[in-house]
Structure 1
Amino acid sequence: MSAYTIEKREKGYLLFTITRSEKRNAINYEVMKGLEEAINRASESDIRALIITGEEDHAFCSGGDLSVFHLLHTKEEAYSMLSKMAAILYSLLTLPIPTVALINGTVVGGGCELAVSCDFRLARKGIKAGFVQGKQAITTGWGGGSILTEKLPTAIAMKLLMEAELHTAEELKEAGFIDGLFEKEAIQVCEAYLEKMLEKDLSVLQSYKRLWIRKWEENKLRERIEEEVKNCALLWESDAHHDYVKTFMKKRL
């Protein structure tokens, strides 16, 4: 059974869905591969937007799948995985069309890094979200922290990262992380949100998106993400992080 689906919709967008609801839509290597495929397909001339969501409504994405990644012990092993996902998220961030994280359920850790890499974030009312990596004795390691510094005011971004707490969608909308809220019919709400954009010529959308891509290039965002990856890899091999993973895995048994 595939870990993801990719659908081209009539309205001219691509829908990527993580289909690992039994794992709270956690990201493993197959999901990474799927994201790469979706990003490549979203570059086709008849695609005007990319929407990313999770299967069912319990979780949008619970971050990296520790049942897979707990096998990574050294900073070198961690760096290999972290840098791969960081490259994928940077490609998503700089995709020259609008992108939307359709947050239909709880989103934590690396799931928030996936969400912040999208241009827009729409969330179901009542869900909770948080950059909780600090509780795992690591930092964001897929570039999400660096991307967050580009998208939110300093004090807000710093508080979200350093406190490592869960927040309601309503709180995150007030903070500027969430752009819109919905109660049901997520796809229809998202289509309505994108309606005016999907009507525009693709070259117009691409030209505007490049304004931000150029800004991120001038701010050396890619280089800053690389530093973030290296720092997280160092923390990954720490005793504190391995102790957290061991405790987490015991709870899963």
Structure 2
Amino acid sequence: MKSFLLEEREQGCLLFTINRPEKRNAVNFDVMDGLSEAINLAKKPGVKTLVITGAGEAAFCSGGDLSVFHQLKTEEEAYGMLSKMSNILYRLLTLPKPTIALMNGTAVGGGCEIAAACDFRVAKKGQKAGFIQGSLAISTGWGGGTILFEKLLAGNALKMLMESRLFQVEELADFGFIDHIYDGDREEVCDSFLRKILSLETDVLSAYKKMLIRKWTVSGLQKRMEEEVRNCAALWEKDVHHELVAKFLERKS
């Protein structure tokens, strides 16, 4: 089964689906490559928006696939993977088209980092999400922590990161992380959320998005994301991280 699906829908909507429901839509290198491909396709003149979601109803994305990435032991090995995904998320963040995380289920760790890199987050009622990386003795490593501080009040971002737990979707809406909570058919909800946005010309949408991108360029966001990657890579190789991941995988087996 293919790890991701790409579909060009009506009104210029490009839909990217992480298609690993048996792994709670965890990210592996194939998913990374697929997201990179989706970002490239979204630059086409006929595409107005990129929507990211997960297959099934249980999970939007459970972060990095630990069964794969636990094989990375050293700081150098971890840096290769972390920097690859960080570069993809920076490209997603600075795509000159509106982007939506259609969060159909739980978002954990790197799944929240992907969601943070999108312009809007539409979440299913009853779901939970959280940056749980701290519980595995690492920090965010794909740039999502840095992005979070760009989008939320500092206190709210710090609470989400430092408590390293799952939050109810209502709490996340109060923090400003979730823009809309839905209950029902997710594609219908997404179409409704996007209706007014997609009624505008693509050049108009891009003009507004570029205002935000200019702000991030001036503030050196990419460099700050790179520092986050390096900090996480240094923590990754520590014994405590590998011990906690091993225990986590044992519980899951």
Give 1:216's aligned residue: 216
* Aligned mates of 1:5, 1:193 — CA distance in 2: 22
**Amino acid across the alignment from 1:61:** C
**Amino acid across the alignment from 1:118:** C
Q: How do residues 170-189 of structure 1 correspond to structure 2 at under 5 angstroms?
A: 170-189=170-189
Give 1:75's aligned residue: 75
Deviation at 1:58, TM superposition (A): 0.3
Q: Match of 1:204, SS? A: helix
Q: How do residues 3-18 of structure 1 correspond to structure 2 at under 5 angstroms?
A: 3-18=3-18
**Amino acid across the alignment from 2:236:** W
Give 1:163's aligned residue: 163
Q: Match of 2:57, SS? A: coil
Give 1:197's aligned residue: 197
1:121 aligns with 2:90: no
**Amino acid across the alignment from 2:117:** S
**Amino acid across the alignment from 2:115:** A
Q: RMSD over aligned Cα, in angstroms? A: 0.6
* Aligned mates of 2:172, 2:246 — CA distance in 1: 31
* Aligned mates of 1:207, 1:221 — CA distance in 2: 20
Aligned length: 253
CA deviations over 1:208-227 (Å, ceiling 9, x no partner): 00000000111110000000
Deviation at 1:249, TM superposition (A): 2.2
Q: Match of 1:11, SS? A: helix
Deviation at 1:176, TM superposition (A): 0.4
CA deviations over 1:105-154 (Å, ceiling 9, x no partner): 00010000000000000000100000000001000000000000100011
Deviation at 1:198, TM superposition (A): 0.8
Q: Match of 2:92, SS? A: helix
The TM-score normalised by the length of structure 1 is 0.99
Give 1:135's aligned residue: 135
Q: Match of 1:80, SS? A: helix
Deviation at 1:82, TM superposition (A): 0.0
| Identity value in percent | 57
**Amino acid across the alignment from 2:183:** E
CA deviations over 1:11-69 (Å, ceiling 9, x no partner): 21100001100000000000001000100000000000000000011000000000000
Structure 1: gaps (5+ residues): none
**Amino acid across the alignment from 1:25:** N
CA deviations over 1:164-220 (Å, ceiling 9, x no partner): 111111110011000000011111111111111111111101110000000011111
Q: Match of 2:26, SS? A: coil
1:51 aligns with 2:42: no
Deviation at 1:246, TM superposition (A): 1.2
Give 1:35's aligned residue: 35
Deviation at 1:252, TM superposition (A): 3.2
Q: Match of 1:100, SS? A: strand
* Aligned mates of 1:175, 1:68 — CA distance in 2: 32
* Aligned mates of 1:246, 1:23 — CA distance in 2: 17
**For structure 1, which segment, 184-193 or 226-235, has the greater mean C-alpha deviation from structure 2 after superposition?**
184-193
**Amino acid across the alignment from 2:47:** I
Give 1:242's aligned residue: 242
Deviation at 1:233, TM superposition (A): 0.1
Deviation at 1:245, TM superposition (A): 1.3
Structure 2: gaps (5+ residues): none
The TM-score normalised by the length of structure 2 is 0.99
Q: Match of 2:10, SS? A: coil
* Aligned mates of 2:80, 2:4 — CA distance in 1: 22
